[in-house]
């Protein structure tokens, strides 16, 4: 067993210590803690350790509320209080922007209204009729009967699912503002549903893209807008924080033509419909674009134009001069064609929204040649986990 002091946390929430000059990553630890650990992985330039004992605790350490905390691996920061987590996330944004984009900036931080039960969606693995998550760094299933991060309507489905007989596969459970449940399943094996015992709040079950019960969508609310969400559309998982993002955009942006890149079901663009003459949105999932069109109609928003396809490809066919572009890409960040488009067309302002600060910083490093970073806000979209949502507002130089 080795004893070391934890110097700081890395970007994945793991403690960093040094053993004979080599860096060791030790999960479940906090800065300034004196810990005993064993080495699990030893590589040329770093090691990975397993915490055995804490000799001196950080004052922000708390007892993890989840009984599965040690095996699950989902909540990398649950052993610290929320104030500590918020400071860590705010500093993480600052550090990554400095390291990868050479940008020094202040970061405003927005807290979540809940640190538990905030997720409106969960994706579970199913093996031999057991439902759960994969355990830390493995493909071993950890059977669960609830998860402290997900809304309790979803936990009710996880606990009582006699009406769904699935042997192997993946199951996605969503809930909405009306406590309704939408379930989608993928499986190579036969899935049996007992339609007579499905609870009344389950509005739809989709198996391998086919709707076998009810609908393949439901409606959810963020702030003052109602959204149709199809079973396979991206939708923000923390409704409160999504509403806070709307507020940031509404307080800072307005103009003639707005382009909402990676628009999903139209969420961010629609939130700005009163601030622009025209809203254009691009998204690659066809169902999501159909939902976006309907969302505009149902919220009496008449100034929208939605396009389905890859952003880089669709942009070649849109001959509009945009004053503002919203960028909310997947974790991989901007693709080359889209980045090129922004740098060449030079809209007056940009809002870049991201849950992956490293790809955000990589893209900002190129964007900053043409734009000044005006405001950075971190938002606690994922309490108890190390990821953080970030909204960056930029103005053309
Ligand atoms: C982080 S989500 C943002 C969705 C939306 N802005 C919102 O707030 O709900 C990223 C979206 O980008 C879409 N997407 C991923 N790659 C894409 C591409 N190359 N072209 C267009 N859309 C893409 C995904 O389907 C997903 O809906």
What CATH number does the domain containing 32 carry? 2.40.50.140
The pLDDT of residue 136: 82
* Helix segments in the chain, DSSP class H: 69-72, 82-101, 152-159, 239-252, 267-271, 286-298, 311-315, 336-345, 357-367
The pLDDT of residue 137: 80
The pLDDT of residue 336: 94
Please state the atom number of ligand 1 nearest to the C-alpha of residue 285. 25
- 299-355 pLDDT per residue, tens: 999 999 999 999 999 999 999 999 999 999 999 999 999 999 999 999 999 999 999
Regarding whether 298 and 164 lie in a shared domain, the answer is no
Q: What is the largest CA-CA distance in the chain?
A: 66
Regarding whether 202 and 162 lie in a shared domain, the answer is yes
Regarding whether 302 and 373 lie in a shared domain, the answer is yes
Regarding whether 365 and 275 lie in a shared domain, the answer is yes
Cα 155 to Cα 122, 144, 181, distances in angstroms: 9, 10, 11
Regarding whether 128 and 109 lie in a shared domain, the answer is no
The pLDDT of residue 70: 84
Q: Do residues 254 and 284 lie in contact, with contact meaning Cβ atoms separated by under 8 Å?
A: no
Write down the pTM of the prediction: 0.95
The pLDDT of residue 206: 98
Name the domain count of the chain: 3
Regarding whether 385 and 308 lie in a shared domain, the answer is yes
Ligand 1 neighbourhood includes 330 CB (under 6 angstroms): yes
Residue positions counted in the chain: 397
- Determine the Cα–Cα distance for residues 395 and 393; give it in Å rounded to an integer: 7
Give the pLDDT band of residue 73 (cuts 50, 70, 90). Answer: confident
Between the CA of 167 and the centroid of ligand 1 the distance, in Å, is 31
Task: Single out the residue in 216, 251, 282 at which a domain terminates.
Answer: 216
Between the CA of 311 and the centroid of ligand 1 the distance, in Å, is 9
Report the percentage of the chain scoring pLDDT > 90.
97
Please state the atom number of ligand 1 nearest to the C-alpha of residue 354. 1
- 121-165 pLDDT per residue, tens: 999 999 999 999 999 888 899 999 999 999 999 999 999 999 999
Helices (H) and strands (E) in the chain, counts: 9, 25
- Determine the Cα–Cα distance for residues 87 and 9; give it in Å rounded to an integer: 12
Domain extent, residue 210, equals 121-216
Give the residue among 3, 8, 34 at the shortest CA–CA distance from 19.
Answer: 3
Ligand 1 neighbourhood includes 236 CB (under 6 angstroms): yes
- Given a cut of 90, is residue 180 above it in pLDDT? yes
| Residue to mutate, 279, 283, 382, ligand 1, most ligand atoms under 8 Å from C-beta | 283
Whether 51 is covered by a domain: the verdict is yes
Regarding whether 136 and 101 lie in a shared domain, the answer is no
- Determine the Cα–Cα distance for residues 292 and 229; give it in Å rounded to an integer: 9
Please state the atom number of ligand 1 nearest to the C-alpha of residue 268. 8
Q: What CATH number is given to the structural domain containing 258?
A: 3.40.50.150
- 269-314 pLDDT per residue, tens: 999 999 999 999 999 999 999 999 999 999 999 999 999 999 999 9
Regarding whether 382 and 318 lie in a shared domain, the answer is yes
Mean pLDDT, the chain, as a whole number? 96
- Give the lowest-confidence range in 66-80, 175-189, 265-279, 348-362: 66-80
Report the percentage of the chain scoring pLDDT > 70.
100
Whether 267 is covered by a domain: the verdict is yes
Output the residue whose Cα is nearest ligand 1's atom 6. 263
Ligand 1 neighbourhood includes 263 CB (under 6 angstroms): yes
- Determine the Cα–Cα distance for residues 397 and 387; give it in Å rounded to an integer: 30
- Given a cut of 90, is residue 215 above it in pLDDT? yes
Whether 80 is covered by a domain: the verdict is no
Regarding whether 365 and 309 lie in a shared domain, the answer is yes
Regarding whether 305 and 356 lie in a shared domain, the answer is yes
Regarding whether 392 and 253 lie in a shared domain, the answer is yes
Whether 77 is covered by a domain: the verdict is no
Ligand 1 neighbourhood includes 87 CB (under 6 angstroms): no
Please state the atom number of ligand 1 nearest to the C-alpha of residue 288. 27
Task: Single out the residue in 162, 181, 216 at which a domain terminates.
Answer: 216
Regarding whether 167 and 51 lie in a shared domain, the answer is no
Whether 281 is covered by a domain: the verdict is yes
Whether 226 is covered by a domain: the verdict is no
Output the residue whose Cα is nearest ligand 1's atom 1. 330
The pLDDT of residue 138: 86
């Amino acid at each position: 067993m080795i004893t070391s002091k934890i110097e700081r946390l890395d970007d994945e929430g793991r403690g960093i210590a040094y053993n004979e000059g080599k860096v060791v990553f030790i999960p479940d630890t906090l800065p300034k803690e004196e810990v005993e650990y064993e080495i699990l992985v030893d590589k040329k330039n770093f090691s990975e350790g397993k915490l055995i004992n804490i000799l001196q605790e950080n004052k922000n350490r708390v007892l993890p509320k989840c009984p599965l905390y040690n095996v699950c691996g989902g909540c990398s920061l649950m052993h610290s209080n929320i104030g500590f987590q918020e400071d860590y996330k705010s500093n993480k944004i600052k550090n990554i922007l400095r390291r990868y984009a050479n940008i020094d900036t202040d970061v405003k931080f927005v807290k979540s209204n809940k640190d538990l039960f905030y997720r409106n969606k969960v994706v579970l693995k199913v093996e031999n009729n057991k439902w759960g998550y994969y355990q830390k760094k493995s493909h071993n299933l950890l059977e669960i009967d609830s998860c402290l991060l997900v809304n309790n309507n979803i936990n009710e489905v996880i606990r009582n699912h006699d009406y769904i007989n699935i042997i192997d596969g993946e199951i996605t459970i969503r809930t909405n503002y009306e406590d309704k449940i939408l379930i989608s399943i993928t499986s190579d094996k036969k899935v049996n549903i007992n339609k007579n015992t499905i609870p009344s709040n389950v509005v739809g079950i989709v198996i391998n893209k086919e709707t076998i019960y009810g609908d393949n969508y439901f409606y959810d609310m963020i702030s003052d807008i109602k959204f149709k969400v199809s079973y396979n559309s991206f939708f923000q998982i923390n409704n409160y924080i999504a509403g806070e993002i709307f507020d940031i955009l509404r307080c800072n942006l307005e103009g003639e033509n707005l382009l909402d890149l990676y628009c999903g079901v139209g969420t961010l663009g629609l939130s700005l419909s009163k601030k622009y003459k025209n809203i254009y949105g691009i998204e690659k999932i066809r169902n999501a674009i159909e939902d976006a069109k309907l969302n505009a109609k149902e919220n009496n928003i008449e100034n929208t134009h939605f396009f389905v396809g890859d952003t880089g490809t669709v942009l070649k066919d849109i001959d509009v001069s945009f004053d503002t572009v919203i960028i909310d890409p997947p974790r991989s960040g901007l693709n080359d064609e889209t980045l090129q488009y922004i740098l060449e067309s030079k809209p007056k302002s940009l809002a870049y929204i991201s849950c992956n600060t490293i790809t955000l910083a990589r893209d900002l490093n190129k964007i900053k040649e043409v734009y000044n970073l005006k405001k950075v806000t971190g938002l606690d979209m994922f309490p108890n986990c190390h990821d953080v949502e970030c909204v960056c507002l930029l103005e053309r130089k």
